Structure 1
Amino acid sequence: MAQPGVPGGPSEQLDLPCGETIHTHDLDLGVREFECDCGDRHAVVMDLHPLGRFVPEFLVDVLRQTIETDDEFEEFTTAHMMGMVTEEFPDQLVSADSSEDGQVGYALVWVSDFGARRLHEIVVELVIELMEHAVSHADDDSALSEFEGYMNDFDVDEFVEEYREEREFESEHDSAV
């Protein structure tokens, strides 16, 4: 049985980038963001949160079909996306592996130094970079040119605003559009 203060136990602590500390057991499965004692809001992502939280399902399907994973996951997941965010912002994101703790309901959790909306923008920007990288390897200059043309007209802030309006983010039962 897990003991308080022992990793995986009921008092697993997560030291946030802002300097505050939270307990993983305080993170409800439905939480997407919380107001911290530091005064800021921090985004929360759990491995069981769908990628559709950030981008439309058709794009999730494309990502899963085209990206081969080389780990224990069979397909591209939220964990992979959060790994990309962690690479870009290593000092602004912390994570905990709670896979041995059957009391929390998730295996992995990430908490960012920024709010949920900013995290959403970052994820969309990273997906665009990933798509641009893939198109650049197609050896088709016209496809790359066409993609870059679309991206010149694409407004990340506007997309995130509209996407968040279309989704129900006020409860743990948000659904894909």
Structure 2
Amino acid sequence: MAEPRVPGGRGAELDLPCGESVGVHDLDMGMREYDCACGASHAVVTDVHPPSRFVPEFLVEVLRETVDTDDDLGEFGTPHIMGVVLEEFPDEVVSENVEEDSDVGYALVWVTDFDSRRLHEIVVELLVELMEHAVSHAEDDDATTQFEEAMLDFDVPTFVDQYREERDFSGPHDRAV
């Protein structure tokens, strides 16, 4: 008997921002991009992807020590990062909770209207904003000044290019440029 297409249930379909749809069973854990029938590539992120997909592990550790999470998701991680992206781009990101579907291997999935390269830049930009906000609350003018000066020299596209080249991406689209 066929499984009904119920939101969050087995066989859930995601209505993408481009107007197309994709079944969660077409999105596997190793996928970083989905080549859509609309002709575009959409970034794919699941909760099992580590935050180090976007930034080095040492920075992930700093964020985990600094950011208090107030939810059932535990320490700061990919779901929190994607929550910030979703908040910033509500019309360009869709997500689905598929924890009831044990066949997919992940509980949460996000698909964006932009490709994985652009998503990577957006994530880095949002994390820099988050860090700047945290530094501004430290009430240490020297730390704030140092951070702001360091950010003047920080080029997000260059960082993303270098990080993507150094990272060992295994998906068909996330490889060294």
Query: TM-score under structure 2 normalisation?
Result: 0.93
Q: What amino acid is the match of 2:21? A: T
Structure 2 CA distance for aligned equivalents of residues 7 and 120 of structure 1: 28
- Which residue is equivalent to 2:160? 160
- Which stretch of structure 1 is more off in the superposition, 13-22 or 163-172? 163-172
Partner Cα separation in structure 1 for residue 2 and residue 53 of structure 2: 33
Q: Which whole-Å deviations, capped at 9, do the CAs of 1:46-102 have from their partners, x for residues lacking one?
A: 000000000000000011111111111221010000000001000000001001111
Partner of 2:60: 60
- Counterpart position of 2:51: 51
Determine the C-alpha separation between the residues in 2 that align with 1:73 and 1:22: 25
Alignment partners' CA distance in 2, 1:134 and 1:17: 32
Give per-residue Cα distances to partners, 1:104-145, cap 9 Å, x unaligned: 100000000000000000000011000100110111112111
Residues of 1 paired with 2:7 and 2:126: CA distance?
A: 32
| Structure 1: stretches of 5+ with no match in the other structure | none
1:15 corresponds to:
15
Q: Mean alpha-carbon deviation: is it higher for 3-12 or for 27-36?
A: 3-12
Q: Contact conserved, 2:27 with 2:34, CA < 8 A, in 1?
A: no
Matched, 1:169 2:177: no
CA distance in 1, matches of 2:125, 2:5: 38
Is 1:77 aligned to 2:106, yes or no? no
Match of 2:93 in 1: 93
Question: Identity over aligned residues, as a percent?
Answer: 64
Alpha-carbon separation, structure 2, partners of 1:17 and 1:95: 11
CA distance in 1, matches of 2:44, 2:76: 19
**1:9 Cα shift?**
4.2
Tell whether the 8 Å contact from 1:2 to 1:8 is kept in structure 2 after alignment. no
Tell me the C-alpha RMSD between the 2 structures: 1.7
Instruction: Name the CA distance, whole Å, in 2 between partners of 1:134 and 1:152.
Output: 17
Cα distance, 1:2 vs structure 2:
8.2
Q: Which residue of 2 aligns with 1:132?
A: 132
Counterpart CA distance in 2 for 1:13 and 1:3 is 12
Stretch deviating more after TM superposition (134-143 or 147-156): 134-143
- For the 8 Å contact 1:2–1:9, the answer to whether it is kept is no
